[in-house]
Copies of this chain bind each other. A is one copy, B any other.
């Protein structure tokens, strides 16, 4: 889970926004199942949490800043009546760390009430907002979600719900997984290219739509399947069943591969792939592409654990040159050489400049005996700014590592994400500005290799044309000002099979 990185303000990973959930039950109040669902999605957003329910007569809403555990009291849950409801957790993004943008967003309009939970990012929200403003609409926030809500509300003036949403889907461009509640009917919508995940599950007494299947597990339900790109799913009142409408069909999907590499929980199944297994497979391919013989392989906890496990397994089957291990070749040792202090959190008082260097070991402490005098390979899922990687290498060298090789279970991030992920800016992205060799030199590793894009496609069993690879190619599935959309271009330096060593 991504919270693994969230230590002491030194965060050095891309951050994702939002998790959504919608539930329709037979008789039970939906508030508590929604509350537990938000806990299951907490890794997707820690800025705010909200639940909106409908009891057949009226909406009930509770949205607050902060973690799920802080946002809801028992009284709050008790006041959220109704067997249907939607929920949301939100990630802090620059500019609007403000209660006005917390979700679910709810409005009342001519034909009832509407609640929206949104994960993703529209690329033409401003355009549609302007059109709506020309018709007299006034907006309380600058978020995409309100634009979608207003557009649906307007369409509902002369259409039924399905057609109204369809018309809105034809207007909006970008990535979106939505849990929508119109009065007491919950629907789920996934954008035509399926950029953000959304799945549907069956509970004992109803149905659930959620960003990740771990929600369904948490509620002791059964995953039915992913919502299809361009599909609208309606949960029947009373939790009796669901209906599917394939509203839009596109030739290619644009699934975000980074969900599998970084964002999603290891125990979630996304687009038919278990995240944990994908990460193990990426680790195996990483060994095959750029394995380096070393005394010990260790993960960066917790983000690199699954990758390192697959990498070590593969390393114990074949040598770095692909030969089967001899019987007396003990292969590579897999060990936890870095211990993480989970208590270092938001309230941590930063060390003074003078003490900063010392305090790195507060968060991650190397186990000397595992490292001293050894060659070490360290596995992580990504490098964003490079700061953490540099500290890690230095930490290991100080602990006596002879050599430190770094292997990354994904291609270099060379461009920003416009599809709903709050990565660093292009200026901050180390791989947007340096070659792999230069990065290796910067972080002072003995060698560095990323995974190739092809390996990612292969592990996900998708063609490159069906993935959104914008952040690792700079080519996006949608028109974005100043960016290219030609997804066939490839940069020579990216995802090379050959690891780069420091002395290159």
Contact = CB atoms under 8 A, between A and B. Distances in A.
Contacts of A135: 135-136
B361 A218 contact: yes
B108 A136 contact: no
A217 B361 contact: yes
Interface string A349-374: 10110010111011001110110000
A51 interface: no
Contacts of A491: none
A276 B134 contact: no
Nearest to A340: B1
B137 A114 contact: no
Contact of A365 (B61, B98, B157, B218): B218
A347 B70 contact: yes
A465 interface: no
A331 to B, nearest CB: 10
Describe A's contact surface by its main secondary structure.
mixed
A67 interface: yes
A74 interface: yes
Interface string A105-120: 1111110001000000
A454 interface: no
Contacts of A245: none
Contacts of A344: 39, 69
A77 interface: yes
Interface stretch (A147-155, A252-260, A281-289, A474-482): A147-155
A54 to B, nearest CB: 15
A50 B267 CA distance: 39
Interface string A233-271: 000000000000000000000000000000001110000
Contacts of A110: 130, 133-134, 136
A266 B367 contact: yes
Interface in A114-143: 114, 130, 133-140, 142
Interface string A418-462: 000000000000000000000000000000000000000000000
A277 interface: yes
A265 B349 CA distance: 22
A342 interface: yes
Contacts of A351: 32, 36
B137 A361 contact: no
A228 interface: no
Nearest to A214: B365
Given A67-B343, A336-B276, A348-B69, A217 B134 contact: no
Contacts of A69: 343-349
Nearest to A305: B336
A384 interface: no
Contacts of A72: 349
Interface in A310-358: 327, 334-336, 339, 341-349, 351-352, 355, 357-358
Interface residues of A, number: 85
A36 B343 contact: no
Nearest to A355: B32
B347 A138 contact: no
A64 to B, nearest CB: 8
B134 A157 contact: yes
A490 interface: no
B365 A267 contact: yes
Interface in A48-83: 61, 67-70, 72-74, 77
Nearest to A219: B358
B365 A217 contact: yes
A139 B345 contact: no
A396 B35 CA distance: 24
B352 A32 contact: yes
Contact of A220 (B266, B335, B346, B357): B357
A117 B375 CA distance: 41
Contact of A369 (B70, B277, B334): B277
Interface of A: 1, 3, 32-33, 35-36, 39-40, 42-43, 61, 67-70, 72-74, 77, 98-100, 105-110, 114, 130, 133-140, 142, 149-150, 153-154, 157, 214, 217-220, 265-267, 274, 276-277, 305-306, 309, 327, 334-336, 339, 341-349, 351-352, 355, 357-359, 361-362, 365-367, 369-370
27 contacts: A1-B339, A35-B349, A36-B362, A39-B341, A39-B343, A40-B362, A43-B343, A61-B98, A67-B343, A73-B349, A107-B138, A108-B133, A109-B137, A110-B136, A135-B135, A137-B137, A138-B153, A217-B366, A219-B358, A220-B361, A265-B365, A266-B336, A266-B367, A276-B367, A276-B370, A306-B336, A309-B336
The 6 tightest CB contacts between A and B, nearest first, are A69-B347, A110-B133, A107-B138, A136-B154, A267-B339, A138-B153
